[in-house]
Amino acid sequence: MTRAFGAGGHLPRAAHLVGWGAYAPSQVLTNADLARMVDTNDEWIVKRTGIRERRVAGPHETTASMGAVAGLRAIAVAGMDPDEIDLILLATLTPDYWMPATAALVKEAIGNTRAFAMDVMAACSGFAYAYATAQAYIASGMARNVLVIGAEALTRFLDFTDRGTCILFGDGAGAVVLSASDEPGGALGFELTTEPSGAYMIWVPAGGAAAPPSASTVAGREHYIRMEGKETYRFATKTLAATALASIRKAGLAPSDIDLFVPHQANIRIIEAVAKGLGLPMDKMFVNLDRYGNTSAASVPMALAEAVNAGRVKVGDHVCIVAFGAGLTSGAVTLQWTADPANGLRAESIRPEDVHIRMPEDWNSVDQLPPALAAILAAPGPVEVDLSDVVPDEPAATNGAAALNPAADGNGAADRNAAADRHGAGPADPNGSGPGVHEHSPGESRAARGAAAPGGAGNNGSGTPATAGPATDGTVAPMREHEEVNS
Ligand code: UT7
């Protein structure tokens, strides 16, 4: 059997999706939390986006660590040993560092010795682009088993004074294993587009070669995500249905043949527009953005894993994944499902606390959260919060916020430590008992070296050491956590 691929070509070898998995950090940031930081409210966010809450990576969690957990889960679901993977592709716009590739750190963390590993940068379309890249490697015979990861630590790159962006994004990771097969099935049609006229609609102005990090770029908050929301929305609603339709047609199918769409989880109104554009009911669209927000390259694989584990897909079904993002890019993959959905249970064997990213020798225990966000997450209810470090010109609080401001009184340091504990020392994963993914090379801290290290999800891009203080004392503050995606 031959399958249509692109404009009249043929896939020499099929790539079956044999493993899937996801990881969501346990810290929850609700709309109400955000309303305590910026001028917004739950009603506006829910009505305009559909998002109710999102997850925030804890201390020691980075794009690599979250990607490694999701990747190991996908490998477990595939019933493989990590060393059977011969290519690791990691889609992200929030790499741990500019170099090396985050995929290299993941390779080590999952205990793989054979694979070559690289990152794919196509913003929120990254997972679709990486999927297509994996397909090409498998089809050409250059790889047999490919681990495709989408992972993001977006909260490290959000300006929590900008209500137009900080309400939208969250952290997490999803992954699939694609494996060469002589049987029919797997991806049947791809569509990938890039529209550079919109290159500056969603972007991070500084930190790259065009605007290297400097005191002035940091002062200008240019290392954070900026977005023309309305223009991006227009692009998405215009493009997504067309991109999905092109991939469906290249697969030789019609929209009505698709059993489930897994769209990029950016905005419920955008997903409704895709359904309308394809003439399909919303019950064909899988939606989980209410709980995770927009996790960029992680959003589609996280949603796919959840959909499969929720029984939304069976063998033989046609699934279409579709995404859009900075670039401006869009990508869609139409595939025929071949794996037993029950295999998803195997992911439960992977516990985040067993996955270690080897950190640099001088890495110390640090909390990469902006202090004001850490304070919000630590506080159980309404509280006056010191926003002096996130809101320019905002005076430091002197009364109710004092307990959250180490400089304000003697209790501050202890409470800050409690805040850090809330993110790291408590149970980060309902499947496990430990602190989630953690580093294991303590030593002199970056702060001690005075290293300003903007860029990379391993720090906050602020140009200041990404630390909330010394290692915590082991006490656990009250936590408001949800079960993670354990697919
Ligand atoms: O992966 C790709 C990532 N990007 C996206 O998916 C973004 C796509 N764009 C969107 O999802 C929407 O454009 C947004 C959710 C960002 C904004 O929704 P919108 O319906 O386009 O709102 P808007 O920008 O037109 O703003 C409407 C009003 C404005 O007030 P006025 O001028 O009418 O008085 C805004 O100032 O809502 C105000 N507003 C807010 N109000 C409360 C904007 N943001 C907020 C907010 N809370 N967070």
- Ligand 1 contact, 56 CB (< 6 A): no
230 Cα nearest atom in ligand 1: 13
Q: How far is C-alpha 376 from the geometric centre of its chain's CA atoms?
A: 21
Determine the residue type at 297: A
Rounded CA gap, 206 and 213, in Å?
6
Residue 340 has a CB neighbour count (10 Å cut-off) of: 12
Given the structure tokens 């290297």, which residue do they identify? 212
Output the CA 230–ligand 1 centroid distance in Å. Answer: 7
Rounded CA gap, 135 and 473, in Å?
48
- Residue whose CA is at the smallest distance from ligand 1 atom 16: 229
Domains in the chain, number: 1
Q: How many Cα atoms occupy the beta-carbon half-sphere of 146 within 13 Å?
A: 30
Rounded CA gap, 413 and 405, in Å?
7
- Residue whose CA is at the smallest distance from ligand 1 atom 25: 230
- Ligand 1 contact, 325 CB (< 6 A): yes
- Residue whose CA is at the smallest distance from ligand 1 atom 29: 164
The answer to whether residue 479 is domain-embedded is: no
- Ligand 1 contact, 164 CB (< 6 A): yes
Model pLDDT, residue 389: 53
Output the CA 1–ligand 1 centroid distance in Å. Answer: 48
Rounded CA gap, 6 and 188, in Å?
9
Model pLDDT, residue 234: 93
- CATH assignment of the domain containing 206: 3.40.47.10
Rounded CA gap, 204 and 206, in Å?
6
Q: Tokens at residue 482, please?
A: 């949800």
Output the CA 155–ligand 1 centroid distance in Å. Answer: 18
Q: Which residues of the chain have pLDDT under 50?
A: 1-8, 11, 383, 385, 387, 391-392, 394-455, 459-479, 486-487
The answer to whether residue 121 is domain-embedded is: yes
Q: How many Cα atoms occupy the beta-carbon half-sphere of 278 within 13 Å?
A: 34
Rounded CA gap, 99 and 410, in Å?
40
The answer to whether residue 462 is domain-embedded is: no
Output the CA 298–ligand 1 centroid distance in Å. Answer: 22
Rounded CA gap, 258 and 320, in Å?
7
Query: Active-site residue 124, yes or no?
Result: yes
- Which of 233, 240, 329 is the pocket-test mutation for ligand 1 (most atoms within 8 Å of CB)? 233
The answer to whether residue 414 is domain-embedded is: no
Q: How far is C-alpha 366 from the geometric centre of its chain's CA atoms?
A: 20
The answer to whether residue 27 is domain-embedded is: yes
Model pLDDT, residue 59: 84
- Residue whose CA is at the smallest distance from ligand 1 atom 8: 233
Q: Tokens at residue 33, please?
A: 């939390």
Rounded CA gap, 48 and 234, in Å?
14
* Cα 57-61-66 angle, rounded to 5 deg: 85
Count helices and strands (H / E) in the chain: 13, 17
166 Cα nearest atom in ligand 1: 48
Domain hosting 42: range is: 4-352
Output the CA 358–ligand 1 centroid distance in Å. Answer: 40
Element (H, E) at 438: strand 438-439
Burial of 381 by CB count in 10 Å (0-12 exposed, 13-18 middle, 19+ buried)? exposed
The answer to whether residue 470 is domain-embedded is: no
The answer to whether residue 29 is domain-embedded is: yes
Rounded CA gap, 74 and 47, in Å?
34
Q: From its phi and psi, is residue 129 left (phi > 0), alpha (psi between -120 and 50) or beta?
A: alpha
Model pLDDT, residue 452: 30
The answer to whether residue 339 is domain-embedded is: yes
